[in-house]
Amino acid sequence: MFIQIDDGQFGQKLPSRISAKAFAQSLAQERPDLIIRVLSFHHGMNEHRSAIDILSQELLLPQKLVVAGYNQVGERFVPELQLDKTANYVKRTTTWDSTDVILVTGGAKGITAECAFHFAKKHRVKVVLLGSSAALQGSENQPQNPISATLNRYREAGLTAQYVSCDITDAGQVAATIKQAQETFGPITGIIHGAGINHPKLLQSVELHGALREVGPKAQGLLNMISAIDPKQLKMVIALTSVIGVVGMPGNGWYGFANENLDLLLRRLRNQHGHLWIQTLAYSVWSEIGMGARLGSDKALEERGITAIPPNEGVARFLMLSEYEGRDQQTVITSRLGSVKLSA
C-alpha cells in the first residue's frame, strides 16, 4: 500500500515533495502476485470523507494494481493520459540569440546531445555541456570519441560549445563549474537537463547506494544547478525524462522514481518562479541512439510490440515543445507502446 498526502492528483496540480507512483507501478510489473494500491489523498480530504473507509473499499477491488486519487471532497479519479492536439499549442514569446548561454547536462552524447545540438543550431546560442566523462585534451584529434564528435559537430556548424567534466550530484563542483562558465560566456539563460543513470535491476536486488545513484543525477543534479544560478536570469528549463516515470517498467523502479520526481521538482520551481518556461519531455525509447539503444532495450521492447522513436521524429518533437506550450508541463512522447497501459 502506497499512500500520498498531497493534492489528490499525485502532485500534478499542487506539487508535492515526492511521489512513489512510478516506483509502485514498476514493482507491480515485477511482482504480479502482489496486491498493490497507490493512492493520492488531498491534504484536506479528511474533513469530508474517511480515509479508512476508502482504503477498505480499494482493497476489495479485484485488480492486483490500483492507482487512484481522491480530491478534497473525496471524489475518486483514475489518472489517464490524453492525446495532445498540437493545433491547440500556444507559441511562446521567448526569443533566443547568440548572447544566450544554455547549460546542458548529459548532452555530450545520446538523445540529449541530439536535441541540444539542433536547438543550438536553430537559435545560434552558446552551449556548455556537462558530463561525467573526463574532459578531453585535443579533442579535435580524437574523432572517434563521442564527446569529440559532438564538439566537432558544433564547431563545423559555426557554433560555440564547451565540454566540462562535472559530477552534477556534487553541489560544490556544480557551483564552481557554473561560476567559471558564466565568467567565460556570460549569464546562463537556459537549462536542458538530460543527465541520468539507469542500471536495470529488479527492485528486490537494488541496495540503498544503487537507488541513490540512480536518483541523484535527475533530482539532486537539478537542485544543485538551480542553487548555483539566479533563477531570475533563466528563461527556460527543459528536462528530458522517460515514460518510465509515468507508467513504470520492470527492472526500472528507481529510474522511474527519479524521473517522476524530477517532474514534481520542476512543478515546484515553476510555482516559485512564474516567469520561467518549464517543460518536461517524457520520451519512450529511441532507435539508434540513447540509453535504450545502448542497453539493447529497444530490441527487447520491440518483441513486446513497443516500437522505438526515430531520432528525427524525437528531435522534431523537442523543437516543437521548445517553442510551443502544450496542455501540461509534462508531455509524454512515444511511438507504439504495444500492450502498455497509459495510466498517467
- pLDDT per residue over 66-104, tens digit each? 999 999 999 999 998 888 888 889 999 999 999 999 999
pLDDT of residue 334: 86
* pLDDT band at residue 2 using 50, 70 and 90 as cut-offs: very high
Nearest to 256 by CA among 4, 39, 23: 23
Distance separating alpha carbons of residues 73 and 69, to the nearest angstrom: 11
pTM of the model: 0.91
Average pLDDT score over residue span 284-298: 70
Instruction: Return the bridge partners of 109, or none.
Output: none
Torsion of CA 201, 266, 342, 110, to 10 degrees: -60
In the predicted structure, residue 287 carries a pLDDT above the cut 50: yes
Average pLDDT score over residue span 262-270: 94
Distance separating alpha carbons of residues 207 and 204, to the nearest angstrom: 8
CA 293 and chain centroid, separation: 18
In the predicted structure, residue 278 carries a pLDDT above the cut 50: yes
Handedness of CA 242, 246, 247, 250 (dihedral sign): positive
Average pLDDT score over residue span 153-178: 97
pLDDT of residue 138: 52
Distance separating alpha carbons of residues 219 and 222, to the nearest angstrom: 5
Q: Taking a C-beta distance cutoff of 8 angstroms, is the pair 112, 322 a contact?
A: no
pLDDT of residue 327: 87
Q: Taking a C-beta distance cutoff of 8 angstroms, is the pair 8, 70 a contact?
A: yes
Q: Which three cell numbers stand for residue 152?
A: 566537432
**CA atoms within a 13 Å half-sphere pointing along the CA-CB vector of 234:** 24
Average pLDDT score over residue span 198-210: 94
Mean confidence (pLDDT) of the chain:
89
In the predicted structure, residue 140 carries a pLDDT above the cut 80: no
In the predicted structure, residue 162 carries a pLDDT above the cut 90: yes
pLDDT of residue 306: 72
SS3 string, 67-84, reads EEEECCCCCEECCCCCCC
In the predicted structure, residue 50 carries a pLDDT above the cut 90: no
End-to-end CA distance of the chain: 18
What the chain holds in terms of domains, given with CATH numbers, is 2-77 (no CATH), 89-333 (3.40.50.720)
pLDDT of residue 342: 47
Residue type, 252: N
pLDDT of residue 274: 86
